[in-house]
Chains A and B, each alone.
Chain A
């Protein structure tokens, strides 16, 4: 079975959720899949207007990724601060975090690429500030929170894609995105 067929099966079975723009005019050049947890966060109802604003912006950022928006990328673990996408340690495992920094709290979506331009976001956490109802903060680079988030991401990915497909390993940007990155 092709990766597209596999994904369709998972989406149809509601084990994965596609993030797409609501507008037919938007061209989708990447596939962004998320866990139910993340899907529920970017869809109503929200508990308050603060959550409504934060997760509406997160949704726009995720759609931007799916629609081939320009990504600033850091391919060295612990070196990225402002980038949209950064590889996590150890680089060889191919675990990445996709970031939505504005407004506070900054959010990280930890996931892996099932194929080039096909990202599965498994875990969402705040980077620095605690937030009621959300995982995190991830804290310092070697924190238990980071380790646990990465471990959960890998377990979730493997549960959905293995043994048919493995995550793209190696941490090289050209292996995971085909265009529009720097």
Chain B
């Protein structure tokens, strides 16, 4: 059986039909990253200028308890929420960028530098076109062990 790590990497690398699990995983990942971005900005302004949640609430025109809920987690955030928040915290807007997590340079790993089969995982160096060419062969090999997309 493939591990979830292998499956996510496989789907991302081959840009094949994405399973609901992979999409859900990246939705939560994105939401957590946006939350991190806003909270980091808040922390910076709090430490440098003494900014408080009450200040942010006033600037956003919202009740303190509403802003307190926004600060508690990104569960109900929309793009508008993040826009308002960054503007109120730092007078900033989103400077959006994107990239494949497979292609970014490695950082530290705490313990498991290996995939489910005990092999070190190496980020692929192929570009998108090369990946598509190689897809048919490798997909055939991996299909037999897939359970994620068809569960």
Contact = CB atoms under 8 A, between A and B. Distances in A.
Interface of A: 7-8, 11, 18, 20, 22-28, 31, 42-49, 51-57, 59-61, 63-64, 66, 69-70, 72, 81-84, 101-102, 180, 182
B118 to A, nearest CB: 12
B26 A48 contact: no
Interface of B is mostly: helix
A61 B28 contact: yes
Contacts of B123: 24-25
Contacts of A23: 101-102, 104
Nearest to B37: A70
Contacts of B39: 70, 180, 182
Q: Which of A23, A57, A182 has the most CB of B within 10 A?
A: A23
A65 to B, nearest CB: 9
Given A18-B112, A25-B101, A182 B73 contact: no
Indicate the size class of the contact surface on chain B: 35 or more
A20 B151 contact: no
Contacts of A61: 28, 32
Interface in B1-34: 1-9, 19-22, 24-29, 31-32
Contact of A60 (B20, B26, B108, B147): B26
A47 B73 contact: no
B110 A20 contact: yes
A101 B101 contact: no
B147 A56 contact: no
B43 A18 contact: no
B35 A53 contact: no
A25 B148 contact: no
A61 B71 CA distance: 16
B75 A102 contact: yes
Contact of A11 (B40, B111, B121): B111
Nearest to B2: A44
A-B pairs, top 8 by smallest CB distance, nearest first, are A25-B104, A82-B72, A60-B28, A22-B5, A24-B106, A56-B21, A45-B147, A23-B101
Nearest to A61: B28
A129 B58 CA distance: 36
Given A23-B101, A72-B72, A83-B72, A28 B108 contact: yes
B101 A52 contact: no
Given A11-B111, A53-B21, A60-B26, 14 more contacts: A11-B112, A24-B107, A24-B123, A25-B104, A27-B108, A44-B7, A52-B21, A56-B4, A56-B20, A60-B24, A60-B27, A63-B29, A72-B72, A182-B71
